[in-house]
């Protein structure tokens, strides 16, 4: 589809095409951002296996030093847990609470932009429906105010605007809604894996 055809499609769809295009651009930016950042490696330290190996050797101090080299929330939780452990706190529930207090900051990172994607998926069809209604209003206005030949021409234009706006609203909404549910599932998997790693770390301290 050429540039001229795209502009012609926008013209046929009426005024609602402009906010729909803006929503489409925003949704694809959010989708790309989530594809890049919603990965397990973004939330777990790259040297986690080294930390586990040190814990298996009962070198908690060494594990803490390795964990402190990282800046992610999971590593911060590890450092706090190790500090508590080295200070004499061996209570599993208390150590788990310390870890969880740091891991709660990961959840907003995992769910980042999902609410906005959901909003776009909800708003876009409504804008398409609005465009459909305005197109139909033009159709009925045409029949009420002009002669038959002119009315037929305006009828075609009004129906074209109605269908174009409705279709564009769905084209914007469907990818946003699909991406929302995919990223929700991926986010839940990331959180589950983080929790499993946390439980494994705590079990190594026992």
Contact 158, 138 (CB under 8 A): yes
Q: What distance in Å separates the CA atoms of residue 6 and residue 10, rounded to the nearest whole number? A: 6
User: Which pLDDT score, from 0 to 100, does residue 148 have?
Assistant: 62
Tell me which residue of 27, 118, 136 sits closest to 19, measured CA to CA: 27
Q: What distance in Å separates the CA atoms of residue 197 and residue 36, rounded to the nearest whole number? A: 22
Query: What are the structure tokens assigned to 169, written together?
Result: 């609203």
| pLDDT tens readout for residues 46-97 | 888 898 898 888 888 888 888 888 888 888 888 888 888 888 777 778 888 8
For 127, other C-beta atoms within 10 Å of its C-beta total: 22
Q: What distance in Å separates the CA atoms of residue 190 and residue 94, rounded to the nearest whole number? A: 24
- pTM score, whole prediction: 0.80
């Amino acid at each position: 589809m050429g540039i001229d055809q795209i502009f012609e499609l926008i013209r046929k769809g009426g005024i609602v095409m402009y906010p729909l295009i803006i929503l489409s651009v925003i949704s694809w930016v959010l989708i790309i951002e989530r594809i890049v950042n919603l990965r397990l490696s973004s939330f777990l330290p790259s040297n986690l296996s080294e930390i586990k190996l040190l814990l298996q050797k009962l070198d908690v101090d060494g594990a803490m030093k390795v964990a402190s080299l990282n800046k992610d929330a999971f590593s911060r939780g590890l450092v706090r847990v190790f500090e508590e452990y080295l200070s004499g706190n061996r209570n599993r529930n208390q150590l788990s609470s310390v870890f969880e207090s740091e891991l709660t900051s990961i959840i907003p990172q995992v769910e980042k932009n999902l609410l906005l994607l959901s909003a776009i998926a909800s708003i876009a069809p409504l804008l398409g429906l609005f465009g459909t209604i305005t197109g139909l209003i033009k159709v009925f206005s045409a029949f009420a105010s002009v002669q038959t030949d002119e009315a037929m021409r305006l009828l075609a234009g009004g129906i074209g605007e109605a269908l174009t706006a409705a279709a564009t609203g769905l084209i914007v909404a469907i990818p946003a809604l699909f991406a929302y549910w995919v990223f929700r599932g991926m986010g839940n998997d990331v959180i589950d894996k983080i929790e499993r790693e946390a439980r494994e770390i705590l079990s190594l301290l026992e």
